[in-house]
Amino acid sequence: MNTAFVFPGQGSQYVGMGQDLYEQYPEITELYNQANEILDIDIASLSFAGPEEKLKQTYITQPAIVVHSVAAARLVKNIKPQFTAGHSLGEFTALILAGALSFTDGLKLVQLRGKLMQQAGEKNKGTMAAIIGLDSAKITNLCRDASEMGIVQVANYNSPGQIVISGSVEGVKQAMMLAKERGAKIAKELVVHGAFHSPLMESAKEDFKTALSSTEFNKVQIPVYTNVTAMPITKDSDPEFIRESLYKQLTSSVLWQQSIMNMISDGAKEFIELGPGKVLQGLIKRIDPSVSIKGVDKANDIALINN
């Protein structure tokens, strides 16, 4: 069966994530110890014990999720994926899995990305909101209509009828009001530290570009479907294209629904989410309920998947 490994993004974290893997598998204990050294913070203790408020800080959340996701992927022994993708932050984990980035370089980039995004969020106050029950064309139109009040655009095309918008507080509030007027079931503001995947992240891009340019990228060993285009980076793709995708991703929409649909049309029959939570499993189920969907988060999931 053609399998896709998919990796979650920010918002999937929870206090305690990865702890049972750390305690039961010596190779994962070693992985977390290595991550602590790379990051120069105790990411293991922050993941396992919190406090939650600290774990929610973008510069801590991002590497914590990546380490947990890499740990889960390393413990899946009997399944080799033919495709991979990650939701926003998860794209870095997908690139590590695909051999394009070393674990060390990937973690350093993610830590910096988290810091720069947090700084951009503090400098340019913004927010995000989930809109449920309107199609993408209607949401694109209402973002355009609301933009007279401030910046607002689609941040994530998550699944049919579930889209996240991002931008200035005024722009997003206006878009939420219009969404309700135009028939949305829910228009709910999210608790975030910035307007991710919007032009308000622009100030993070230059320093991140510098870091990307000094990081070694290799050709991928398995196709990675990117957030920016929903199309795969393949073995024939120039590694420079990976840098460009990660750079653009900071202010571009995440084409998650389109990425999943493209993987399915290219032959993916089974999706396995690796890392904290079940967010992507829920989204994929809404995108195409006919595919097989599993998750690997905790130690008992490893036992089930390897049998």
- The answer to whether 304 and 30 have CB atoms below 8 angstroms apart is no
How confident is the model over 172-210, as pLDDT tens digits?
Answer: 999 999 999 999 999 999 988 899 999 999 999 999 999
Please give the positions annotated as active site: 88, 197
Assign domain 126-189 to its CATH superfamily: Malonyl-CoA ACP transacylase, ACP-binding (3.30.70.250)
The whole-angstrom distance between residue 145's C-alpha and the CA centroid of its chain comes to 28
122 dihedral zone (left: phi>0; alpha: psi -120 to 50; beta): alpha
| 3-122+199-306: CATH architecture | 3-Layer(aba) Sandwich (3.40)
- Res 169: pLDDT: 96
The whole-angstrom distance between residue 112's C-alpha and the CA centroid of its chain comes to 15
User: What are the sequence ranges of the domains in the chain?
Assistant: 3-122+199-306, 126-189
- Map residue 212 onto helix, strand or coil: helix
- Res 191: pLDDT: 83
For residue 257, give the nearest of 221, 285, 297, 238 by alpha carbon. 285
Mean pLDDT taken over the chain: 96
At 250, give phi and psi (nearest 5°): -60, -35
- Res 306: pLDDT: 87
- Res 143: pLDDT: 96
Q: Do domains 3-122+199-306 and 126-189 have the same CATH topology?
A: no
How confident is the model over 230-256, as pLDDT tens digits?
Answer: 999 999 999 999 999 999 999 999 999
H/E stretch holding 168: strand 162-168
| Dist CA 74 CA 292 (whole Å) | 21
- The answer to whether 276 and 65 have CB atoms below 8 angstroms apart is yes
- Res 192: pLDDT: 86
| Dist CA 296 CA 248 (whole Å) | 29
H/E stretch holding 234: none
